[in-house]
Structure 1
Amino acid sequence: MKLIVDAQLPTKLCEILNQLGLESFHVAELPKGDETPDEEITELADRQNLILVTKDFDFYHSHMALGKPKKLFLVTTGNLKNRQLFDLFRNNFLLIKNALNRSNFVELNNEGITEHE
């Protein structure tokens, strides 16, 4: 399982995900970096079987209407300090990993993980 982390989330999140055993990279590493259009991110994610990790509800709407991206991990925590966000990922790591293996749409909120579909 490999993840691509969208621009609204900190690049440091990739380091934490990698430490937890979830291979990931940030859109900032793409040739167009944070300026990469959503459609290109979606195409890349689907072509390379990546799970898109994002806070951007545009990806949610696209996933629900068109099934693109195929695999979506939506972070709906609202504004948190990075440390709080990272702790949510660390504290829910096993739930996240299992949910991503089972579902095409997973949501992380302040209470934990929700699998959709």
Structure 2
Amino acid sequence: MKFLVDAHLPFGLVKWLRTRGHDVIHTSELPQKNKTEDADIIQLSIEQNRIVVSKDEDFYKHFILKGQPSKILLLTMGNIVNNELISLFEKNIEQIENDLQQNKIVELSNDSVTVHF
């Protein structure tokens, strides 16, 4: 899978996803770095067929209004230390991967993985 990880998420998540064999870009690796506008993130995700990984509900709202980006992994666990975030991914990655293959929006919270579309 190809992911685009938003600015407010740690680069450690990018590294971890890469160890799983995924093609991952963090906004800090883009020309505008972590100041990349949401519209540019959406456009890049469309051009490169990437799943946007973010805590920012604006991406969800934009999807509802315009059907873009094509896929979102929305993280709704609130503030969390990096090790706990990685642990949530470790526990749920297989379900996340399976759900994202067939659905547009998947939400990861502290205690569940939920499909929205």
TM-score, normalised via structure 1 length:
0.96
Instruction: Tell me which stretches of 4 or more aligned residues in structure 1 moved more than 3 Å.
Output: none
- Residue 63 of structure 1 corresponds to 63
Cα distance in 2, alignment partners of residues 82 and 12 from structure 1: 7
- Letter paired with 2:87: D
Tell me, in whole angstroms, the C-alpha distance in 2 between the residues paired with 1:25 and 1:44.
10
Instruction: Report the Cα offset of residue 116 of structure 1.
Output: 1.1
1:43 partnered with 2:43? yes
| Residues in 2 aligned to 1:89 and 1:27: alpha-carbon distance in whole angstroms | 19
Matches within 5 A, 1:66-77: 66-77=66-77
Deviation at 1:65, TM superposition (A): 1.2
Unaligned runs of 5+ in 1: none
Q: Matched residue of 2:53: which SS?
A: strand
Counterpart in the other structure of 1:88: 88
Give the letter for the 2:11 counterpart: T
Cα offset for 1:86?
Answer: 0.5
| 1:70 to partner: Cα distance | 1.0
Deviations 1:19-50 (A, max 9, x none): 12222110100000001111001000011110
- The residue aligned with 1:6 is 6
Tell me how far 1:108 sits from its aligned partner.
0.3
Is contact 1:20–1:93 with CA below 8 Å preserved after alignment? no
Identify the residue that residue 102 of structure 1 maps to in structure 2.
102
Distance 2:55 2:15 in 1: 18
Residue in 1 that maps onto 2:27: 27
Equivalent position amino acid for 1:32 in 2: Q
Specify every segment of 5 or more residues in structure 2 that has no aligned partner in the other structure, as ranges: none
